[in-house]
A and B are shown apart, each in its own frame.
Chain A
Amino acid sequence: MPLSRPTRSVLVAFAVGAVSLSPAQADEFSQEDLKRWEGQFMDVVKQGRELWTKALGANGVSCAQCHPNAANTHPETYPKFQKQLGKVALVADMINWCIRNPAEGQPMALDDPRMVAIQAYINYERRGVPMAPGKH
């Protein structure tokens, strides 16, 4: 498993005294890094798309049945005031609402890898749209 960037920076700092040929600094990354990070992100988008077209609850209903290409999910507008919840809500709150109600399933923890994947997918389908927090 590749090290995260901060961990690698610490290792580099320790090694600086001993090794004169220094590897990349904390603020440097290469084309290969970019490619690898994008690949990791797109893998998660792909997992999100798979979850989107599968039943997440008990009745076989999938997200894609009402939201082809994740349309009408408006991730760029969250957090926003949701009058039916009486508070400012996250897009994850709305995803869980849909899992519980139309899909008749159990809500996910906010850091559930499936929740991360679903958000990666809907944001990816919405790429290029300006951020509009709070918009209705």
Chain B
Amino acid sequence: MLTKEMYQRYSRQLLVEQFDETAQQRLHNASVLIIGAGGLGCAAAQYLAGSGVGHLLIMDHDNVDLSNLQRQPLYREADVGKNKAESAARQLLTLNSEIRISPLVYQATPALLEALMPVVDIILDCTDNLPTRLMINEAAYYFDKPLFIGAASGNLAQFIALSPRQRHGCYACLYSPDQHTGNNCLTQGILGPVVAIAGNYQALAALYYLSNINTPEWGQLHVFDGMKMQWSQYAIPKRANCSICGDR
């Protein structure tokens, strides 16, 4: 049952044809682990909080830097030097105090992921490097949790929705560890709207999945080129010998 205030707060999404009270209730009951509170995490978290996802767990061990404000809209000048997860949680609660937000001031490790996986429904990979992404992929597959991956650098954004229950390949079937180039926002720069596009894709796919009003297109790499204003899409086949998803 939604309260009168909830009806009012979520009225505009309840007006969307496929979205109803049951969908809203599903969001309210959902827990989402957002790993990384940079450009991707900020974009995704604010829309998931606004939409009424019941519990957001936001993990980031980093502090806000002045150079983050250009593309990480959850932070204010006063947050510079403060932890990102805690600053993001504070800001998100001013947007929606009806939901739970757990800031996790840690760096992702296999042991930490192992402890968190059982209590969340889905994971948003909002991190910034290939080794961490491969670690999250392994944990998501081990614990059978859908994984929504965003990535961005320069003028490029990428998005992938992975379901351990589907027959497509996983992140380790897409990129090999030695394809790590170290290209990140420090070397290649990043435009705010480009990283937000990837984060919003993550939020939208999560919203569809959690409310059960639409099925994400699993196992597809979506690639956005800002210079061309164009998306391309590629299937990720399962590798027969993949150590993460191969035996499924």
A and B interact: no
